Copies of this chain bind each other. A is one copy, B any other.
Amino acid sequence: MNPQPLPAATQGPVHIVGTGLLGTSIGVALRRLGVEVTLEDSSPLALAVAVELSAGRPRTPDDAAPRLVVVAVPPEVTGQVVAQQLAEYPAASVTDVASVKAAVLDDLRKAGADLTRYVGSHPMAGRERGGPAAAMADLFVGRPWVIADSGQSSRTAVRTVRDLAIDVGATLVSMDPERHDAAVAVVSHLPQLVASLVAARLVEAPGGAVELAGQGLRDVTRIAGSDAMLWAAILAANAPQVASELRSIRDGLDDTLGALDAAASGNFGKAITGLHDVIVRGNAGVERIPGKHGGARTDWDVVTVLVTDSPGELGRLFTEVGRAGVNLEDVEIEHAGGKPVGLTSISVLRGSGPRLASALARAGWRILA
């Protein structure tokens, strides 16, 4: 449930420009800590929703100048709005939450903005739904929040933005803008584009093909459902870094095609060697991902249970798991033909797996070796 809020390090007033998902969520989190927050948005509707959700109140001419301005507008206008805010509040520190950082900094340099009071941010948090109505105070809890110091940012500005990130529950990560943009190109922008390109193949897939779709295709294409306008703006703003990732993937595709063509022309030795190499390099890469595909996996026991499609069966399973009195760390349900039927993997703290397995087996569940 929810930890007791600590006293905020952030000192208001904080002014938030742009009351979409991120801006409104930051406002709600700060208000819950008692920080004074004012809001503005080009859409009166979005602003009204944010106010209704207690993200703050609309800014009025009589309000005191903000100590901190948070710019949470679409990436393509972020630089311009940050420059305006720096000029309008000459004593304020200003941050933004755009998911690209170098392009914003370039715009500020071109605008001759005061870079000492600007520190770029990228909170690595979001939801499938956007807009103020989807806002939540806990959106940033446990998530990385990148602080991208341009090198010219003042210590006051950096400390002010770090305090904001900590107050909303995020985990601080420091990266300069270029390294940040290279990092998100590979961990975020590349996967998005590849998921979209693979999903696009399904539009003209042969009849009956999608009925054979398994969990692998579902996982690879899940994020292909993303918002097109937002992603077009993000990708365009990080174009050089994303292009260099795509070129590397294209080189890998060409190597793979070489191996496949060798197979087609009967040279199976060359084909198998090349294809094996592609999969092995992928094995090595996926092991670098922190968490359950990397380190954490070794800290957990995984108990795999067969769940058939009878009504209420998942509920009964979790009731039994509760009775077993073990600490549930994770649950993964495999989907066959789009139904949650098949293998359900329950991760528990290392050592309590056998106890859970025997408890479930006694309760009549099929436990898999």
Contact = CB atoms under 8 A, between A and B. Distances in A.
Given A144-B211, A340-B347, 6 more contacts: A142-B337, A188-B214, A200-B252, A203-B285, A231-B275, A331-B333
Interface in A295-353: 295-296, 306, 308-316, 318-319, 321-322, 326-333, 335-343, 347
A34 interface: no
Given A195-B282, A338-B296, A124 B221 contact: no
For the side of the interface on A, what is the size category? Answer: 35 or more
Contacts of A175: 208
A141 interface: yes
A186 B226 CA distance: 21
A57 interface: no
A315 B127 CA distance: 24
A60 B294 CA distance: 46
A179 B263 CA distance: 20
B279 A226 contact: yes
A327 B312 contact: yes
Contact of A318 (B253, B289, B322): B322
B1 A212 contact: no
Nearest to A369: B133
Interface stretch (A86-94, A109-117, A153-161, A233-241): A233-241
Contact of A187 (B217, B253, B293): B217
